[in-house]
Structure 1
Amino acid sequence: MKPRAKQPDAQGIGARAAALAAIQAVFFSERPLTEALDASLSQAKLEARDAAFTRAIVMMTLRRLGEIDHVIATFLREPLPVRSGPAELILRLAAAELLFLDVAPHAVVNSAVALADKDHRARHFKGLINAVARRIAGEGKAMLPSLDAERLNTPPWAWDNWLTAYSEETTRAIAKAHSIEPPLDISVKSDAEVWAEKLEAKLLPTGTLRRTAGGRIEDLPGYADGAWWIQDAAAAIPAQLLGPIKGKTVIDLCAAPGGKTAQLAAAGANVIAVDLAFERMKRVTTNLTRLNLK
């Protein structure tokens, strides 16, 4: 049985409001996802557990957007009008929780209505949001097995390009992989084998630790002590190709969230980190402070 997502507080309104703000920035303002999430979480000032809940909602909504929209459309007589503002996004977030995160239906529905009530446009559609969310809670999951998830969740341009370059079997395999939460890749300052055992992770040939088990990142051994940081295995390779860099000056462009900056600094380089987004640079500073790196 899939574990039920832990809701951070009695209503989860703060986390869900931050998720809505982030996804509005993506869809309405066309901001990059990482930038939108960082800005939303920075403004919301949530506890770590609440922030993790926000990220889970947003990421699941985007990974499963095609399926979510199909289910929502089944319970709507016609698409929501532009004048409804974020009403559609509120429904998408609620559907992600109900269909894929296994959050208690009453909490999801009540929070969706509360979010709608806070927006001067969406509040006129809160009755509709309530009704559709309740139907998704009651009937939505039963619809999923019959859906072509890979096709629905993949943008047409990507699907067509993959079909041209690969077979349909490979195209579906790529699409399916995109819907799965990726493993956690970790870079350590030292003693990779020791930390692999402590973190229940696999030590890759490149030195990255790959952890597939779940759990809050902040609760894992060594996080609070600054022994390691999150960094995709592929992203860790470029800095390794530089060879010995102790005492050398390296400029890290597009530095946020700071994985390569930390990697370079841990190797003894003098690093100049640069990023266009001010909010994302705050994250670099926070990460380096936790790691005791300058």
Structure 2
Amino acid sequence: MVLNETKKKKPFKRSPQKPASARVSHEPPKPGLEVRATAAKLLAAAVDRKISLDGMLDLTHGNPAYKTLSDADRALARAILTTALRHLPRLEAAIASLLESPLPEGARALHHVLVVAAAQILHLGVPSHSAVDLAVEQANRDPRNRRFAKLVNAVLRRLVREKEEVLVATASVSPVPDWFRERLVKAYGAVEAERIAEAQLTPPAIDLTVKADPAAWADRLGGRLLPTGSVRLGEFEGSVTALEGFETGEWWVQDVAASIPAKLFGDLSGKRVADLCAAPGGKTAQLIAAGAQVTAVEQSPNRLARLKENLARLGMEAELVGGDLFAYSPDEKLDGVLLDAPCSSTGTTRRHPDVLWTKGVQDIEKLASLQERMLRHAVTLVKSGGIIVFSNCSLDPLEGEELVERVLADTPSLQRRPIDPEDWPGLEEAVTVKGEFRTTPAMLPPSEGFAGGMDGFFASVLSVK
């Protein structure tokens, strides 16, 4: 500023200048900045505060910043988040290898900015200059991180230059958290544990359960017929709801592993069966299609409404019961019960990678206790000679094999009905020595044009004497 010295004025005093950390940019955000900032915030919420992505990404009750994004930006935010969570230990190792010294304690916001950028550079094919520039802009706009903007720029530009070397160097880092890797090794051995961990890096394929003639629908949709009778779709653009057969209710989306438990009852023609944790309804629909008279029990009113909508699209009917399954007691004992119990969901991390970061051993123990109570209640609902299929999408034996053994040990009226692996060609390896199902994401190899893998599931068939 130049003062006019020909006029007398009061001495000019500069206002105290705000420190750099307190300045706020009033410039409009760069295109793409908001989606990266949102991804970093949601990543922090999942990893640091153990908040489920499903809730945050819900378009009705989810995160406000996420809901305000465009459809395209929401898709990008989801891609960044799921990729970052799948590869998190390796991304963190990559960043650490490029830092001269660790980030300051408490610099978690900066950490998440770097992880979001690294996920784009290493795995998403986003233009590198865009990922770097927007991360630097994020740092500059955050008072906590502004002083690290040059560091962000330097680290990420080096990551771009050394991308291939970094990918090779971090390939030996387990992609799952330590607590989960330890439980996998204990349950499956070191070699299989590594196969499972690596398989979870691959996003899941889309599998369909078809009402009738799955081979014909596989041809119509250009899909692959799986050993279970499910149809696996190849890569395609657009929405599943736009595919032939959706509007007319000829099929529904259901992972191949999730389709197995309902198939374990055998002939259900005319039999009375309850699905005790029914929503969203895929297994209920299978039971109806198999000829059973189905009662679908669901505690959540919102999920029960979704179940009703799904059955309506499929042109199917069931008796719907809303409420706590522990309060459910039919007038007459049933021929069968399907209990696909709420669990830690560690078998579904290909589609829900936040699970390994929002849950831990205590959650598994708590859920196993709840499942055991549910199974013991289910036994009281079934008549002599009836069948109970107990299942869940956990990879942890505490929620599967060990739980069933405990219930069998002190319930003389209950016995295991072993599954014959010869009845499941192509999935023989999933049938255990004791005759129970145990699938993992490392099973079902890929074929040309089609991804491999399946959710991790446990299922046991029990009969009442």
TM-score of the aligned structures, taking structure 1 as reference length:
0.73
- Indicate the residue corresponding to 1:20 in structure 2: 40
1:176 aligns with 2:198: yes
Q: Is the 8 A contact 1:19 1:40 kept in 2?
A: no
CA contact (8 A) 2:38 2:65 kept: no
Tell me the distance in 2 between the aligned counterparts of 1:43 and 1:290.
31
Question: Equivalent residue for 2:321?
Answer: none
Q: Which amino acid aligns with 1:157?
A: W
Q: Which has the larger radius of gyration?
A: 2
- Asked if 2 retains the 8 angstrom alpha-carbon contact of 1:25 and 1:36, the reply is no
SS of 1:28's partner is: helix
Say whether the 8 Å CA contact 1:228–1:291 is kept in structure 2. Answer: no
CA-CA distance at 1:127 after TM superposition:
3.3
**Deviation (angstroms), 1:227:** 5.3
Which protein is richer in strand relative to its size?
A: 2
Residues 124/142 of structure 1: CA separation in 2 closer, same or farther (3 Å cut):
same
User: Taking structure 1 as reference, are residues 89 and 222 closer, same or farther at Cα in structure 2, changes over 3 Å only?
Assistant: farther
Matched, 1:235 2:258: yes
Q: Could you tell me which residue of structure 1 aligns to residue 180 of structure 2?
A: 158
Asked whether the 8 Å contact 1:223–1:229 carries over to 2, the reply is no
Of 48, 52, 61 in structure 1, the residue corresponding to residue 84 of structure 2 is 61
What is the one-letter code of the residue matched to 1:237? I
2:229 aligns to what?
Answer: 207
Instruction: Flag the 1:269–1:82 CA change in 2: closer, same or farther, 3 A.
Output: farther
CA offset digits 1:152-179 (Å, max 9, x no partner): 3133333344444545433332222122
2:217 paired residue number = 195
Looking at structure 2, the residues matched to 53 and 117 of structure 1 have their Cα atoms a distance apart, in angstroms, of 22
Q: How has the CA–CA distance of structure 1 residues 205 and 91 changed in structure 2, closer, same or farther, with 3 Å as cutoff?
A: same
Q: Provide, for residues 6-50 of structure 1, a one-character-per-residue CA deviation record: whole Å limited to 9, x for no partner.
A: xxxx94345434433332221121123433443348952545543
1:117 Cα deviation (Å)?
A: 4.6
Identity of aligned residues (%): 32
Which letter maps to 1:196? A
Contact 1:248 1:269 in 2 (8 A): yes
Give, in whole Å, the separation in 2 of the partners of 1:157 and 1:282. 34
8 Å CA contact 2:174–2:197 kept in 1: the answer is: no
Partner residue, 1:3:
none
Q: 2:149 aligns with which of 115, 126, 137?
A: 126
Once the two structures are overlaid, the 10-residue window that deviates more, 190-199 or 236-245, is 236-245
- Give the Cα separation in 1 of the matches to 2:259 and 2:239: 19
> Which one-letter code corresponds to 1:78 in the other structure?
S
Partner in structure 1 of residue 122 of structure 2: 99
State yes or no: 1:252 paired with 2:277: yes
Are residues 1:185 and 2:219 paired? Answer: no
Q: SS at the partner of 1:78? A: coil
Taking a change above 3 Å as real, the CA distance of residues 40 and 173 of structure 1, as seen in their structure-2 partners, is same
2:277 is paired with a residue whose SS is strand
Instruction: Tell me, yes or no, if the aligned pair for 2:184 and 2:193 is still in contact at 8 Å.
Output: yes
Which ranges of structure 1 fall in alignment gaps of 5 or more residues?
A: 1-9
* Shift in Å, 1:107: 1.7
1:52-104 C-alpha deviation (Å, 9 max, x unpaired): 32222112112211221111012222332344342211211111110111110
Structure 2 residue corresponding to 1:44, chosen from 62, 67, 82: 67
CA contact (8 A) 1:187 1:209 kept: yes
Report which of the two has the higher share of helix. 1
Q: Which amino acid aligns with 1:213?
A: E
> What is the CA–CA distance in structure 2 between the aligned matches of 1:160 and 1:43, rounded to whole Å?
34
Mark the CA change 1:117 to 1:171 in structure 2 (over 3 Å): closer, same or farther: same
Offset from partner CA, 1:158-205 (integer Å, 9 cap, x none) = 334444454543333222212222322223455533332233222224
Q: 1:187 aligns to what SS in structure 2?
A: strand
CA RMSD of aligned residues (A): 4.0
Distance 1:75 1:239, change over 3 A: same
Letter aligned with residue 169 of structure 2 = S
Q: Supply the distance in 1 between the matched residues of 2:312 and 2:145 (Cα, whole angstroms).
A: 40
Decide whether the 8 Å contact of 1:265 with 1:271 is kept in 2.
no
For residues 128 and 52 of structure 1, the distance between their equivalents in structure 2, rounded to whole angstroms, comes to 29
Distance (whole Å) between structure 2 residues aligned to residue 31 and residue 17 of structure 1: 17
Unaligned runs of 5+ in 2: 1-29, 318-465
Q: Secondary structure at the match of 2:102?
A: coil
2:334 counterpart residue number: none
Deviation at 1:231, TM superposition (A): 1.9
Q: How does 1:138-149 map to 2 (within 5 A)?
A: 138-149=161-172
Alignment check: 8 A CA contact 2:245 2:251 kept: yes
